[in-house]
Amino acid sequence: MSTTAHKASRAMLGAAALSGCLFFTAGCSVPEAEQGDTIKIGAILPVTGPVSEWGESNKAVLEMFEDEVNDAGGIEGKDLEIVVYDSGAKPAEAANLVRKLASQDNVIGILGPFTSSEAEVAFPVANQLKVPVISQASSKPGVAEQNRPWAFRNTVNEGAYLGAVVPEMKKDLGATSVAVAYDSADAVGTSIGTGIMPPVVEANGLELTTGTSPVTFTTTDIDLKAQVSSLIKTDADAIGLGAFYNGAGKLLREMSSRGANTPIFGGSTLVSANILEAAPKTTIYSSGTYFPGAEDAADWTAEVEKVFAEEGVPGSPTMFDSQVYEAASMYVEAIKAGDLSDADVEAARIGIRDFLTDMKDFQGLTTVISMQETGDVSREFYVLKGAGGEWSVLASATP
Amino acid sequence: MSVYELGLIAQVCINVLMGLSVYTVLATGQLNLGSAGFMAVGAYTSALASIHGVSIAIAMVLGVVAASVAGLLLGLPALRVRGIYLAMATFAFGVVVQSLCLVLPWTGQARGLIGIPQVIPGVLYGFTAVAVLVLLAVTLSKFWLRVRSIHDDEFAASMAGLNTTTVKVGMFTLGGALAGLAGGLYSHWFVYIEPGAFSFNVSIFAVLYVIFGGRRSMWGAVIGATVLTLLPEFTRGLDEWRPAFVGAVLLVILVVRPSGILGERSVLPKFTRTKKEVAA
């Protein structure tokens, strides 16, 4: 056989042997592990990438939480360690990080991932590896429900939010007709614009001026003139927006520049100080479990703002900061309630899962929280009205 | 080996296939900026087929076939355009595919597709190994000399009687197949796909794998994809400085060694040329 053929054969044999080895090691399971001297919780946050401002503030809040717990003596004498990894809001990375936290860091529970797209791929992995995971921001309907029993979300379904916002907006404005627009490149925006908003609007006796063809846009669109013209032409009393505040802000700026200040309504994705700055003359109806002016959480807000100032995190705490803080508190409470600080990792994870599954009337920052069978929490929330640069409470609601 | 490490290898496999997809087209001197589009075709075809009851293996073969057909159809413009114009055409293809995924109702639109059956890592590694071996066989064949001749001097190759169009379209088809396989594996590994997973960034990174590793050999794409997948993982300790560090490493390598890690050396002649050919 020639040298050429020998080399080629060796290369092929090597590749085949490598793939064979990998094939047979592919079924390895997570080894049993003890917890050690610290209690480890993992966190998957988008510290870089398109929603990094939320990831950064979440990180600061979790560091504050870790210090609070450890300064108060830890959990049953053991220190708490929150292992934070950056996902960049990339779904594939979030899935890999669940594997890393579960199999290498041996955490007993995971906070995050942040977005619904990340949760869609990370939750099935958490379910396979049998590690509890609580997302603080994913609100696309059904994501936790599809990944029982290990996936949870400390968020209210966007359907519940809009079910409360639309009647309050109608009452406040005396509206009879609405138009709908949504960010067609975003999963949550599309869910709101096509699946949630139209039936809620119709159920409240409002005319849907955009009919079965809502106006679509994306955050990457450079020019939104056509979409804004379509919305103005419908002459609706209000516009329902399925979009995150940054995409919505872009649309609102274009509307404002055309002198159109039609009131806007939407789910929790609109709650942000930035959107009020983008369109100061526009009234915005939204909803959330927290906002910086919430009286029930005034002390916590002051504490977080102090930390933000020290660490150079811009702005005030967001609803997602409060929800990740609450989720971390749930883990600590679960460890204490189940006396899990000395349990091995696998037993601690099962104990936490059972605590979360049966959780009733857990004291959150603004309201009590209970877990539903779907893996999403049930809790009272605010219907908010944004005007004059500030959010105020219009009503309270329960899903 | 931990499940995390197995997952990382799975990600490396998918990225290696994407790098090889770009490499096969680049081997004829054409730049493909739309590999994410082929990946999406493979991913959605495979995912939809398996959701409707087709076995994963057959679903992935269907994904590969669909992406190959897309490669063939896109490769045909190679008859008319070349260079930057062809690169722009492939870029447009990627944008069109991603946009179609956002509007066609059976893709799940921006909500994405759920309920995709999962493959075990061994199957994913096996598919990748087979694809690498098939491509290795192609690069060791005499056909590959025709491919390289087009890369080195297309005019001379055509004067020598080579049907350059057929070869170029063939390589587009092969590149489409590799990206389609990467897409199929992606969908069955992560069990959820959405249009955002097939953005232009994915195509750019696939090109980077080849440029970073070295574009003269298929192993350049393999090395480039492996390093650029693992480097961000192994530098997690740098926190938010990590992307800047990885970018700086890329920049340094490309400045210090513009032809990539493997350089301009081609390992190809060592395997393929007989002593007589070398002497001649």
Q: Give dist(CA A157, CA A363) in Å, integer.
A: 19
CB < 8 Å from A in window 93-112 of B? 102-103, 109-112
Band of residue A14 on the pLDDT scale cut at 50, 70, 90: low
According to the model, what pLDDT value does residue A149 have?
Answer: 97
Average pLDDT, chain B: 90
According to the model, what pLDDT value does residue A287 have?
Answer: 92
User: CB atoms < 10 A from the CB of B208, how many?
Assistant: 18
Q: Is the pLDDT of residue A18 over 80?
A: no
Q: Tens digit of pLDDT for each residue in A264-301?
A: 999 888 887 778 888 888 999 999 999 888 888 999 99
Q: Give dist(CA A43, CA B97) in Å, integer.
A: 34
Interchain CB distance below 8 Å, A186 and B110:
yes
ipTM over 0.95 threshold:
no
Interchain CB distance below 8 Å, A187 and B111:
yes
According to the model, what pLDDT value does residue A1 have?
Answer: 40
Q: Is B47 on the interface with A (CB under 8 A)?
A: no
> What average pLDDT score do residues B249-262 get?
88
3 state DSSP class of B79: helix
> What average pLDDT score do residues B245-252 get?
91
CB-nearest partner of B239 from A27, A47, A96: A47
Q: Give dist(CA B199, CA A50) in Å, integer.
A: 14
According to the model, what pLDDT value does residue A273 have?
Answer: 72
φ, ψ for residue A197 (rounded to 5)?
-65, -50
Average pLDDT, chain A: 89
C-alpha B263, offset from chain centre: 20
A210: which residues sit within 8 A by CB, 6+ positions away? A179, A180, A181, A230, A234, A236
Q: Is A130 on the interface with B (CB under 8 A)?
A: no
Q: Tens digit of pLDDT for each residue in A212-221?
A: 889 999 877 8
> What average pLDDT score do residues A127-138 get?
96
Q: Give dist(CA B89, CA B19) in Å, integer.
A: 19
> What average pLDDT score do residues A303-328 get?
94
> How is B235-276 classified by DSSP, letter by letter?
TGGGGGGHHHHHHHHHHHHHHH-TT-TTTT--SHHHHH--HH
According to the model, what pLDDT value does residue A203 have?
Answer: 95
- Determine which of A21-30, A71-80, A388-397, B149-158 has the lowest per-residue pLDDT on average: A21-30
Interchain CB distance below 8 Å, A117 and B194:
yes
CB-nearest partner of A15 from B133, B236, B240: B133
Q: Tens digit of pLDDT for each residue in B22-60?
A: 999 999 999 999 999 999 999 999 999 999 999 999 999
Interchain CB distance below 8 Å, A12 and B136:
yes
**Three-state secondary structure string covering chain A:** CCHHHHHHHHHHHHHHHHHHHHHHHCCCCCCCCCCCCEEEEEEEECCCCCCHHHHHHHHHHHHHHHHHHHHCCCECCEEEEEEEEECCCCHHHHHHHHHHHHHCCCCCCEECCCCHHHHHHHHHHHHHHCCCEEECCCCCCCCCHHHCCCEEECCCCHHHHHHHHHHHHHHHHCCCEEEEEEECCCHHHHHHHHHHHHHHHHHCCCEECCCCCCEEECCCCCCCHHHHHHHHHCCCCEEEEECCHHHHHHHHHHHHHCCCCCCEECCHHHCCHHHHHHCCCCCEEEEECCCCCCHHHHHHHHHHHHHHHHHCCCCCCCHHHHHHHHHHHHHHHHHHHCCCCCCCHHHHHHHHHHHHHCCCCEECCCCEEEECCCCEEEECEEEEEEECCEEEEEEEECC
CB-nearest partner of A91 from B122, B132, B190: B190
Q: Is B142 on the interface with A (CB under 8 A)?
A: no
Q: Tens digit of pLDDT for each residue in B93-105?
A: 999 999 999 989 8
Band of residue B254 on the pLDDT scale cut at 50, 70, 90: confident
Q: Is the pLDDT of residue A307 over 90?
A: yes
How far, in Å, are A130, A394, B16, B112 from residue A113 at the CA level?
A: 16, 30, 26, 17
Q: Give dist(CA A61, CA A326) in Å, integer.
A: 11
Per-residue b or e along A366-389, where b marks 16 or more CB atoms closer than 10 Å to that residue's CB: bbebebbebbbbbbebbbbbbeee
Q: Where is pLDDT greater, at A12 or A266?
A: A266
Q: Where is pLDDT greater, at A398 or B234?
A: B234
CB < 8 Å from B in window 160-179 of A? none
According to the model, what pLDDT value does residue A197 have?
Answer: 94
Q: Is the pLDDT of residue A5 over 50?
A: no
> What average pLDDT score do residues B232-243 get?
85
Chains A and B form CB pairs within 8 A to the count of 128
Q: pTM for the complete prediction?
A: 0.85
CB-nearest partner of B11 from A15, A25, A92: A92
Interchain CB distance below 8 Å, A117 and B132:
no
According to the model, what pLDDT value does residue B261 have?
Answer: 87
Identify the structural domains of chain A with CATH numbers, from first to last. 38-156+295-379 (3.40.50.2300), 159-288 (3.40.50.2300)
Q: Is B126 on the interface with A (CB under 8 A)?
A: yes
According to the model, what pLDDT value does residue A120 have?
Answer: 93
- In the 8-state DSSP scheme, what is residue B118? P
Percent of chain B with pLDDT over 70: 93
> What average pLDDT score do residues B208-231 get?
94
- Determine which of A281-290, B74-83, B181-190 has the lowest per-residue pLDDT on average: B74-83
Interchain CB distance below 8 Å, A120 and B274:
no
Q: Where is pLDDT greater, at A18 or B134?
A: B134
Residues of B in contact with A190 (CB under 8 A): 109-111
Q: Where is pLDDT greater, at B20 or A23?
A: B20
According to the model, what pLDDT value does residue B236 have?
Answer: 86
Q: Is the pLDDT of residue B68 over 90?
A: yes
| CA proximity to A57, closest of A365, A311, A328 | A311
According to the model, what pLDDT value does residue A4 have?
Answer: 45
Band of residue B265 on the pLDDT scale cut at 50, 70, 90: low
Residues of B in contact with A26 (CB under 8 A): 6, 120-122, 125
